[in-house]
Structure 1
């Protein structure tokens, strides 16, 4: 039986690295991201199904869930950083903050709700990618961190409510990604961990299937 994974934010960074790792292990992959060109390139490389779109769009969520009637793994990796340069909370614009909540909290929940029947049927697993900004008081990271804290509590309750589905909220640590570069600059981001190394740890997590909970990938 071939395992199937749905990965959001799969055109670059950790999402793409994990897709490569799973593809090498023979998984069938359904990949999504907003950048259609990069996504199609990744899908062609991996023999995966590409469904480009925005996870905040209910129609796109419906298309994704329709593409995975059988599902073993959902990875909510797509995420927004918010306003840059990162502002203090005293001056954080509220409308961009609402949009960030939509991307980082509401959209993952919507996709979970849409795919839970398939995940329950296969006793599957959910990985919600979080951040140490969810529980660390880092200046400038309040907006982003608040959304990740909400995602962590959502995951925590989901794990209690869905005992037949493994739920992990995974902190990847600092990785050399475009998002980190946008936040802290190219030089500091270049010194961070390669996403491929983090993806290997995440793949090991999926294989070993520990109890639901918060995990650190570095």
Structure 2
């Protein structure tokens, strides 16, 4: 007589825990494109570590995102060393980041208060320093902290948000454009140094966001598309995983 116990395959499958959902770290995730990307990733089964400088706006985003997926929200600035450490620790606590989205940005490093974008000849140097710290140094420093996790994750990837101001010369956009150009180049170098990862710099195009409105005080920007309209381009990026490089959301959307 065969005394081998009979195992129900359905019970075995039920007893085997599913693979943990991947983890994404998103900066500037309380509004605009950052929030739309967080919503999309939550819908696609990602767990999230999100951050932004405004604690009230981030709390509202956390309440929404937390109803869809496991979410850790930590208010703070990417310029702050301790805050970046907390983000990395939170991602490690969830099993390690597989995706970093460096979305947090600043136009000038200070409140424009309805003033036009400053020419380089008049750009306050403390504001220019802050522009580079938020748009370049913070993202690079966060990459450094998360690289061990991203290297260990299947399909580890980095998305650095760029701008057409990084490649076109617009009066008043010198500080922001120069910082984004520096981030583009840092992305390209990182891609060469980390061939096992995907490192994408993505220009989302003009969007109807609060930051874009601040760049054009008093002007009607209702003709610009909402941030949600470019989300399919980012989904295509993560799905198709093209080679590391610089992409325009408009070109990615053309293949959707």
TM-score with structure 1 length normalisation?
Answer: 0.97
Q: Which residue of the partner structure matches residue 66 of structure 1?
A: 89
Show the counterpart of 2:73: 50
Task: Report the Cα distance in structure 2 between the residues aligned to 1:8 and 1:97, rounded to whole angstroms.
Answer: 20
2:142 is matched with 111
| 182-191 vs 22-31, which moves further | 182-191
Q: List runs of 5+ in structure 2 lacking aligned partners.
A: 1-18, 251-256
Q: Matched residues in 1 for 2:222 and 2:186: separation?
A: 32
73, 87, 92: which one aligns with 2:118: 87
What secondary structure sits across from 2:143 in the alignment? helix
Residue 19 in structure 1 maps to residue 42 in structure 2: no
Counterparts of 1:160-175 in structure 2 under 5 Å? Answer: 160-175=192-207
CA shift for structure 1 position 187: 4.2
Moved more, 82-91 or 138-147: 82-91
Q: 1:55 to 1:134 in 2, by over 3 A?
A: same
So what's the TM-score if we normalise by structure 2?
Answer: 0.83
Give the gaps of 5 or more residues in structure 1.
none
Q: Which residue of 2 aligns with 1:10?
A: 29
CA distance in 1, matches of 2:240, 2:173: 32
What's the secondary structure of 2:200's corresponding residue? strand
Aligned-residue offset at 1:192: 0.7
| Cα distance in 2 between the residues matched to 1:32 and 1:63 | 10
How big is the alpha-carbon RMSD for the aligned residues of Structure 1 and Structure 2?
1.1
1:99 aligns with 2:100: no
Residue correspondences, number = 218
Q: Which moved more, 1:87-96 or 1:2-11?
A: 87-96
Deviations 1:162-212 (A, max 9, x none): 011100000011000000000013644221111011122112211211110
Alignment correspondent of 2:176: 144
Q: Is the 8 A contact 2:26 2:49 kept in 1?
A: yes
Where relative contact order (Cα < 8 A, 6+ residues apart) is larger, the structure is: 1
Deviates more, 1:80-89 or 1:29-38: 80-89
Superimposed CA distance per residue, residues 64-119 of structure 1 (whole angstroms, 9 cap, x where no aligned partner) = 00011211110000000105321111111112101111111100001000000000
SS for the counterpart of 1:67 is: helix
* Residue 31 (1) aligns with residue 50 (2): yes
